[in-house]
Amino acid sequence: MEQCAVLLWGWLLLGCSWGPGPPGVGAAALSTATYKLDDAYGLGRQFDGIGAVSGGGATSRLLVNYQEPYRSQILDYLFKPNFGASLHILKVEIGGDGQSTDGTEPSHMHYENDENYFRGYEWWLMKEAKKRNPKIKLIGLPWTFPAWIGKGENWPYDYPDVTAYYIVSWILGAKHYHDLDIDYVGIWNERAFNSKYIKVLRQSLDRLGLRNIGIIAADGDWNVSKEMIVDPYLNDAVEVVGAHYPGTKTVPNALLTKKKLWSSEDYSTFNDEVGAGCWARILNQNYVNGNMTSTIAWNLVASYYEELPFGRCGLMTAQEPWSGHYKVEAPIWITAHTTQFTQPGWSYLQVDGHLEGGGSFVALTDGLGNLTIIIETMTYNHSQCIRPPLPHFTVKPQRATFYLKGSFYTVKTLQVWHSRLDFESGRSSLFQQLHPVKVWKGSFSIDLNVDEVYTLTTLKTGQKCGHPEPPPPQPFPSNYKDDFNIRNPPFSEAPNFADQTGVFEYFINASDPGDHVFTLRQVVVQRPITWASDADQTISLIGNFKWVNMTVTCDIYIEKQRDGGVFVAGRVDNGGIYVRRTKGVFFWVFADGTYRVTGDLAGEEILMKGLSGVRNNAWHTLTLNIQGTSASGLLNGYPLWENVTISQPSNGWAAIGTRSFEFAQFDNFHVEAS
């Protein structure tokens, strides 16, 4: 059962001063500055919430394979109000069948005459988020698009009506099949925007009565704002100007639009204490420096194989569904400092927000008398994000005195929550409740050390909740089988397979007499409109990156005549946005009756080749055995090739895949490894 800790510790000083004081620093030696919080002359911008991205790409891939109760526990830490991160916004990838950072996510429309609103796991995730927080805002954004959108071109804007139809179909499908109301939709992640398309999308939404769905543009830099201020129709079409990794800064043109300004993707940093420091700093300073009223983290939960690009760049880590192990990382509790004590619709106070000794604060109110102040004193070395480069700055211990004016003058007590990121001992203190602070004649003082976060609030609803410790970590099973025999799978993808190019889905092969009715099928037969550099071959990874020796066996069925082909592989060393450079040991068979052994996915490093007798539209069993520096292969249980010398790579995943974007089926997958 869950546990909520309300931990009281700290110091209450007499008079109007409150706070622990930095070790070895006398209160008199601290620099002191005063700050006024007043709502008498109006409020600042409206706060729109803190969120995170699932997707861009396949970042929640392993989460869906967790067994209960662990899967629900992870979801609680992310979405449950007054529990953990208590997120206000969930942004998901509108899957487009292409590689979008750490894998591919399936489209709801692989082809123009194909619609399926149960592929992938983002529908499920949005429903789980809504189940915990019915008020959570939902955003959809495409990274890639199926090939038919571009009609032969790697570009989604030549036929704006077609692209808008595709996106609106996703929005309507979310409502019709899952009762999900999408709040915002984006254009094309971190790629060129097209003003005509944005206006067509707005018209398409309005025509269907979806005027309440806001368009975010353009999820890259601030350049769309330059066009918005000279094109009133474009300006009317866009509700939010969203930039990625803005370094807490905005530009004059963005302010001139008079639109909501968001950091619509940020963070993307390893989730240790430095990552938590990055997150704490930008959550405040995106508003203090850049007037941004929402910050959205990439990514929600690091639930993909860690050795893929940007491993553990999530607010928490859940990459072992086979063991049930997960870890609630420091960024979860840094998030709670803001999310548990504010809500979308609150307003920022009009105040500078820079602390004289370095660091920042924001103050927000619900307009009904509640006040929340969030303070961060992150130092340069302990708050660097992965991007952009951080200009040098200094933070020192300091005393801050706050004067509460206007409707806040009557506040007598503030609840206090505190985090201290300890980089010396590694014993950080995260989201602890201290004694309340007494406000004396409208003022109080607080002594601030470096690398701290404080929340001072009139709200008494905050909680640091927790579930029992999850099971200990375990490596991926060294003996793993999947026969794909599942009539009504809860998800379209087989557990633990991580598609890197192409999409591998459960398939019912109704024409088979019985042995291979339920299979796994690669279903993308045209190269999608890409976001990353997808491979020319399709590939799905599985297992433990540290595996050295392994035997991979799989039944295969080539559907494409003449030049069709499939492979099984071991020691696969790469994926994600680097999939084109993947090395390993690849055992290929082709519809023309030949086979090859290659040292790379591209098939350029040929280690062995010959005749196999394999043809399309027939089942065969491939076995790849790798031991030390030698590999051998069996076809239908009989040796086909042996004694191929392997030098590199020395370890990696197992994998299956196809020669091109083509239909092919797989069954009875089995890997034994060490």
End-to-end CA distance of the chain: 37
Q: One-letter amino acid identity for 651? A: N
What CA–CA distances, in Å, run from 254 to 41, 108, 226, 233, 292? 25, 34, 7, 16, 10
Long-range contacts of 637-642 (CB under 8 A, 24+ apart): 640/595, 640/610, 640/612, 641/595, 641/597, 641/608, 641/610
Of 281, 275, 321, residue with least CA distance to 299? 275
Which residue among the candidates 265, 376, 493, 662 is catalytic per the annotation?
265
Please give the structure tokens belonging to residue 139.
């955003």
Handedness of CA 84, 89, 94, 100 (dihedral sign): negative
Which residue bears the tokens 């400092």? 337
183 neighbors 90 (Cβ within 8 angstroms): no
Our answer to whether residue 265 is catalytic in this structure is yes
**371 DSSP β-pair partners:** 365
Pick the catalytic residue: 190, 356, 559, 672? Answer: 190
190 is catalytic: yes
Helix axes of 330-339 and 273-290: crossing angle, nearest 10 degrees: 30
- What is the spatial distance between Cα 362 and Cα 169, in angstroms, rounded to a whole number? 40
Q: Which residues of 427-456 are buried (b: 16+ CB within 10 A; e: fewer)?
A: ebebbbbbebbebeebbbbbbbbbbbbbbb
The three-state DSSP-derived secondary structure of 597-636 is: EEEECCCCCEEEEEECCCCCCCEEEEEEEEECCEEEEEEC
Assigned token pair, 363: 């103050």
Q: Which residues contact 547 (CB under 8 A, 6 or more apart)?
A: 478, 570, 571, 651, 652, 653, 654, 673, 674
List, in order, residues 6 or more apart from 391 with CB less than 8 Å away: none
Token digits for 345? 């619709």
- 585 pairs with which residues across the strands? 570
Structure tokens at 439: 């406000």
- Distance between CA atoms of residues 493 and 110, nearest Å: 15
Nearest CA among 7, 589, 70 for reference residue 322: 70
Catalytic residues: 190, 265
